[in-house]
């Protein structure tokens, strides 16, 4: 099993979700996060003075999948979240030992 | 003989000040001064907070900014030419230029027209606050997507091409005044014009990204309630101030205004309760605004019983109109300006023909007209104002689009107007 953690631009969320649903992914966890990378932050103004806000809002998606879906999911996110500009985000892939569905106690692939 | 004539004139002047009128009444003046402050309070902060709470976090400042900027722009234009073109001269649609730059407004000058016991300077600023709130109401139609420069230009053009002529036609001695259209505080001049304009602008501009959808919900409902409460209180100045005296007419106007607000709020709340299973705070606040908009033109003629009925019709009809515009017709009049203000204002204009005349729900009614005849007159008035507003709002928005682009780009819209248009954010964390 793999845990996909994707950081994307907030305005792309709707497209990414629709693409993932079309690709057969049934669930994900979503967090509003802030951070910076090559895109850096943005400037704001206060009474004529400019100051830098060095973090940008992003959306973090967490998706747990079977190994065989890895390629489909990463390609789906890459194509639906991409604008071609700096700041499109990243995808992290982590191996997961096990997963348990709390309600039933199912484990492994059955619990995804 | 000449001496006798002179004596008669002198006698008449002394004995009937009501006819030859015209001296300052300090009670009236004090009340209109107060009302002016109340009406400005409706826009800043009332409407600004009401609209600000209804949009998303990333657009809250843009809406506050739009209301604030409109208040300033309109104030200047009103001084330059707005007041003169509205209230001087006898044209059917526009007044004349006799008071450009307020050149005719002397320190000791008395008001023109029907307000004869207050200073003209006060009449100018009282009317200015009405001119301010009307384009500010239109903000609700283009919120969350219009560029700021386009917004400024459009609002200035709209004031000139729609509000000023409507004001002159109804209140400044123009066409509709000649016909005998009754509109105490702006069912046509304010609410019909802003409502119809909202529909035109929303259709030209197109919907927000994600409309219709679950993501376009109010970000701060407490702010909505605060704004609505300011509107309710401010509206006492709007309607009771439009009685022009600190007397019986003002008292009754304030009473019926309050009744309609309360009944409109309760009705909307109940309609929503039945339809969705829960009464909501945004619902009760919106119903209140509908009740106020609908009583506005009628508040000079109806009595308390008429106000109960007007409030009820406001809460129910405007509620269903809101579902129709967004749900069925899929027009993104984002903050429901047309169904609340347009429908409410027009409904009040028509209803007053029946409810405002003596003899029908008669206690407190003051209109001296035949209901059917008056209804035809009011209907003609609605026709002229709606047609005028559709045509000239379209011209104003198209003219603006030739000079500067109307909308922000898709990514900027997602980012939010606060940061994109103003380099500021409403909330820090």
Alpha-carbon gap, residue B317 to B327, rounded angstroms: 15
CB contact under 8 Å between B423 and A83, yes or no, is no
| Tokens representing residue B167 in the block | 């004001």
Has this prediction a pTM greater than 0.80? yes
Cβ atoms of A27 and A101 within 8 Å: the answer is: no
CB pairs under 8 A between A and B: 24
- ipTM value: 0.71
Alpha-carbon gap, residue B381 to B169, rounded angstroms: 9
More confident site: A54 or B70:
B70
Nearest CA in chain B to A83: B411
Q: What angle do CA B17, B22, B27 make, to 5 degrees?
A: 95
CB contact under 8 Å between A14 and B422, yes or no, is no
CB contact under 8 Å between A11 and B424, yes or no, is no
Secondary structure class of B425 (helix, strand, coil): coil
Q: Could you tell me the sign of the dihedral formed by the alpha carbons of B161, B166, B167, B169, in that order?
A: positive
Q: In Å, how far is B68's CA from the nearest CA of chain A?
A: 17
The answer, for B210 touching chain A at a CB cutoff of 8 Å, is: yes
Q: Which residue has the tokens 């409904």?
A: B347
Nearest CA in chain A to B58: A57
The answer, for B178 touching chain A at a CB cutoff of 8 Å, is: no
Per-chain mean pLDDT for chain A: 91
Element holding B372 (H helix, E strand): helix B371-403
Cβ atoms of B208 and B145 within 8 Å: the answer is: yes
**Which residues, at least 6 apart from B398, have a Cβ–Cβ distance to it below 8 Å?**
B204
Cβ atoms of B269 and B284 within 8 Å: the answer is: yes
**Which residues, at least 6 apart from B275, have a Cβ–Cβ distance to it below 8 Å?**
none
Q: Which residue has the tokens 């709209």?
A: B158
Q: In Å, how far is A11's CA from the nearest CA of chain B?
A: 5
First to last CA, chain A: 9
The answer, for B370 touching chain A at a CB cutoff of 8 Å, is: no
pLDDT recorded at residue B210: 87
Helix residue spans in A1-112 (DSSP H): 13-22, 70-81
Cβ atoms of A6 and A61 within 8 Å: the answer is: yes
Cβ atoms of A64 and A1 within 8 Å: the answer is: yes
Contacts of B210 in chain A (CB under 8 A): 14
CB contact under 8 Å between B423 and A44, yes or no, is yes
Burial state string for B12-41 with b = 16 or more CB within 10 A and e = fewer than 16: eeeeeeeeeeeeebeebbebbbebbebbbb
Residue B357 DSSP one-character state = B
Alpha-carbon gap, residue B366 to B357, rounded angstroms: 6
If 0-12 CB within 10 Å is exposed, 13-18 middle and 19+ buried, where does residue A38 land?
exposed
Q: In Å, how far is A30's CA from the nearest CA of chain B?
A: 15
Strands A56-65 and A2-8: antiparallel
Cβ atoms of B231 and B50 within 8 Å: the answer is: yes
Q: Which residue has the tokens 């030992």?
A: A97
Nearest CA in chain A to B425: A44
pLDDT recorded at residue B360: 66
Question: Which CATH number among 3.40.50.300, 1.10.1740.10, 2.40.100.10, 3.30.70.120 corresponds to the domain A2-111?
Answer: 3.30.70.120
Strands A56-65 and A29-35: antiparallel
pLDDT recorded at residue B6: 45
Contacts of B410 in chain A (CB under 8 A): 11
Secondary structure class of B327 (helix, strand, coil): helix
pLDDT recorded at residue B230: 98
Cβ atoms of A6 and A91 within 8 Å: the answer is: yes
Residue B225 DSSP one-character state = H
Alpha-carbon gap, residue A76 to A103, rounded angstroms: 30
Alpha-carbon gap, residue B91 to B317, rounded angstroms: 36
- Domain spans of chain A, in order of start: 2-111
* CB count in 10 Å sphere of residue A103: 7
What's the average pLDDT block by block, 10 residues per block, for chain B (429 residues)? Answer: 45 41 88 98 98 96 98 98 95 95 92 86 97 98 98 98 98 95 96 98 95 88 98 98 95 97 98 96 98 97 94 97 93 97 98 86 77 96 98 98 96 92 87
Secondary structure class of B147 (helix, strand, coil): coil
């Amino acid at each position: 099993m793999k845990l996909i953690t994707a950081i994307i631009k907030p305005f792309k969320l709707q497209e990414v979700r629709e693409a993932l649903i079309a690709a057969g992914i049934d669930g994900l966890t979503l967090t509003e996060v802030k951070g910076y990378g090559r895109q850096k932050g943005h400037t704001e103004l206060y009474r004529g003075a400019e100051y830098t806000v060095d973090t940008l809002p992003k959306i973090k998606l967490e998706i747990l999948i079977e190994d065989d879906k890895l390629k489909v999911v990463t390609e789906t996110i890459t194509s639906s979240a991409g604008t071609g500009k700096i700041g499109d985000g990243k995808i992290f892939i982590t191996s997961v030992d096990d997963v348990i569905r709390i309600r039933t106690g199912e484990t492994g692939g059955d619990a995804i | 003989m000449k001496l006798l004539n002179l004596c008669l004139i002198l006698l008449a002047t002394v004995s009937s000040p009501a006819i030859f009128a015209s001296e300052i009444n300090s009670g009236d003046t004090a009340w209109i001064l107060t009302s002016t402050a109340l009406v400005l309070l409706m826009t800043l902060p009332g409407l600004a907070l009401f609209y600000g709470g209804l949009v998303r976090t990333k657009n809250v400042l843009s809406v506050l900014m739009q209301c604030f900027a409109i208040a300033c722009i309109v104030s200047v234009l009103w001084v330059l030419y707005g007041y003169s073109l509205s209230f001087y001269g006898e044209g059917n649609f526009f007044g004349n230029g006799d008071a450009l730059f307020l050149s005719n407004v002397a320190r000791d000058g008395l008001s023109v027209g029907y307000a004869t016991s207050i200073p003209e300077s006060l009449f100018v600023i009282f009317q200015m606050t009405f001119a301010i709130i009307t384009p500010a109401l239109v903000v609700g139609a283009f919120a969350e997507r219009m560029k700021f420069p386009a917004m400024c230009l459009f609002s200035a053009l709209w004031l000139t091409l729609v509000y000023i002529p409507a004001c002159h036609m109804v209140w400044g001695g123009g066409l509709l005044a000649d016909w005998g259209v009754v509109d105490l505080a702006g069912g046509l001049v304010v609410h019909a014009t802003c409502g119809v304009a909202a529909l035109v602008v929303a259709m030209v501009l197109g919907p927000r990204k994600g409309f219709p959808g679950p993501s376009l919900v109010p970000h701060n409902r407490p702010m909505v309630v605060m704004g609505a409460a300011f509107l309710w209180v401010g509206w006492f100045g709007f309607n009771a101030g439009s009685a022009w005296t600190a007397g019986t007419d003002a008292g009754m106007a304030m009473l019926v205004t309050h009744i309609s607000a309360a009944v409109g709020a309760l009705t909307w709340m109940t309609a929503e309760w039945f339809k969705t299973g829960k009464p909501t705070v945004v619902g009760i606040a919106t119903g209140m605004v509908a009740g106020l908009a609908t009583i506005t033109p009628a508040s000079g003629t109806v009595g308390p019983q008429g106000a109960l009925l007007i409030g009820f019709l406001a809460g129910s009809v405007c509620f269903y109109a809101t579902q129709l515009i967004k749900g069925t017709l899929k027009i993104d009049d984002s903050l429901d300006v047309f169904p609340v203000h347009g429908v409410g204002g027009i409904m009040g204009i028509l209803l007053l023909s029946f409810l405002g005349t003596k003899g029908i729900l008669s206690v407190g009614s003051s209109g001296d007209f035949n209901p059917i005849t008056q209804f035809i007159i009011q209907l003609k008035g609605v026709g002229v104002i709606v047609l005028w507003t559709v045509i000239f709002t379209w011209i104003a928005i198209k003219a603006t689009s030739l000079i500067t682009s109307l909308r922000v780009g898709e990514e900027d819209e997602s980012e939010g107007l606060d940061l994109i248009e103003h380099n500021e954010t409403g909330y820090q964390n």
